[in-house]
Structure 1
């Protein structure tokens, strides 16, 4: 519905906010486990639930501002990677400092899009095929892609064939940077889409946050409270966010949503949106992915990376799935256990 409307009613599209969703392709799904809405009844779900405050503990990774150090329309990468990183943290039972994923790696290789937009489902599908996603310390966010000329982006070197676009370190003044070929990472196991308020709630409750499309235009000057907007024209999506849970008040339930515009915006970087009626188009198209394997230990590289550098190839990139007989013995990652295969634990949350 929303895509057809955007073609038929171009005059209603957001004028002040440039769409950061430029890919409406059906990227398919890779689903092996039962979907949460297939075994969780909507009436059994609690009136309020958020991974930002589950039994007094937050399982969420940090908020970001996608628009610094210059403007970059990377919401699709921010939303999809933050939701995936949250699911890693949930699987780790919030042990230690949460791992965040390198959005700049996603931009460097244009895995799902660029600074001019992309899609969450495309990101998950492409990342699954591309392989290990490095943790953020491999490549900090620059807000640049090879097709962007904003700010200093013209001076940034992009060469997707080089390992320096995946993980690197620069050890001292006057010396070149070293490619890191053995790095902590996350791989994707399954990915798919979910729509409808009850189905989205079940997905979040069982497995963690999801990335959803939304119309950002009405939210530009949002300053707090439960936002409500059921206008038809405002259901055309142009931005990707991550939904972390829901709450309830006298007027019904509302979504708890993390944006990627920084903590200075909204409610410390979050906003609340009235649930139902597909407000702002958010309930019509959400994407999810589950981890396959994630690193809890690293291969111990030197400060300068000399023992971990070299030309990049699929063979010498450290994957959390490396066999114990390899030189990386003892540094294997943790295999993700999908909650859909451990229903006892999921149902325990309902008690």
Structure 2
């Protein structure tokens, strides 16, 4: 269904050069006048609708034949009403970190490496940022790099090939930090507008100058990788037991305008698929939600995070949950 809608939408917006602020102005006013669970605002100022769509890098349809094995938790009896991975594992500095995929449709890689990094800390007690740069640039079976990819293939790549370390743009942290410049996804600030999608950087087999560990010695591997069913309690049990997970969902035109509250689709057509990291859940105003980290830098949304309605598969957020356990070091 999502793929059929996608094809129709592409025909309508593929050549659009519409200013996103102009495109979303009436939508924002409409959402904020409604009796709904969230508030909208002007984001992606100076961007076109086309450039916003370029940030949505999950390819549809997802390859069913390459779906990861299903993991099932036998006991789901102890799930709390609220949970925040940042609170359970405060020693893990990667869990609250908001990254920036910049002008690249690499969300599929970011949602994966963010969760992998968290799980390296939780299971191996190692503080590392797994490199979004290497995964985006070098995983050929994952898709097209900045042109989009498949989240499940990212996890398979971690297990079979391993991934080196690498932090944020200009951080000089790890073997391969991100090389695409950060940009504004919110109101104009100290960064430049993201603009059109950039080409995927060349796959490199070396670390940055000055890094003390050899490239092949810097790899971290997944020991097991799997998917979790769309059952809410199964997803919750996985997060509270093993750490944050990668999810992907359908993005409609109202989502990029998110500012606060519990998002649910109210207005606007299909734009694409987006991958994110779910790190917790809770209840706000009587509405169940997932707590989610986005990769559009800390100025977007609620300091880089958003909440989305839980338990009704809002925009397909519970459809495709991928995770894994790192190989013991």
> 1:104 Cα shift?
0.9
TM-score normalized by the length of structure 2 = 0.70
SS at the partner of 1:186?
coil
State the alpha-carbon separation in 1 of the partners of residues 317 and 294 from structure 2. 13
Alpha-carbon spacing, 1:2–1:196, altered in 2? closer, same or farther (3 Å):
farther
Q: Does 1:209 align with 2:241?
A: no
Runs of 4+ in 1 over 4 A off after TM superposition: 7-15, 55-59, 149-154, 230-234
State the alpha-carbon separation in 1 of the partners of residues 259 and 310 from structure 2. 18
> 1:190 Cα shift?
1.4
2:119 to 69, 74, 87: 87
State the alpha-carbon separation in 2 of the partners of residues 183 and 266 from structure 1. 38
1:29 corresponds to: 68
Matches for 1:179-190 after TM superposition, within 5 Å: 180-190=214-224
Alpha-carbon spacing, 1:233–1:152, altered in 2? closer, same or farther (3 Å):
closer
1:280 corresponds to: 315
Where in structure 2 are there 5+ consecutive unaligned residues? Answer: 17-48, 167-173, 182-194
> 1:56 Cα shift?
6.3
1:167 to 199, 202, 206: 206
1:319 corresponds to: none
Matches for 1:168-317 after TM superposition, within 5 Å: 168-170=207-209, 180-194=214-228, 195-216=230-251, 217-229=253-265, 238-293=273-328
State the alpha-carbon separation in 2 of the partners of residues 231 and 291 from structure 1. 40
2:131 corresponds to: 102
Aligned residues: 265
Alpha-carbon spacing, 1:237–1:212, altered in 2? closer, same or farther (3 Å):
farther
> 1:143 Cα shift?
3.0
1:142 to 179, 187, 191: 179
Whichever of the two has the greater Rg, that structure is: 1
> 1:203 Cα shift?
1.5
SS at the partner of 2:235?
helix
State the alpha-carbon separation in 1 of the partners of residues 13 and 233 from structure 2. 28
Where in structure 1 are there 5+ consecutive unaligned residues? Answer: 172-176, 294-333, 335-351
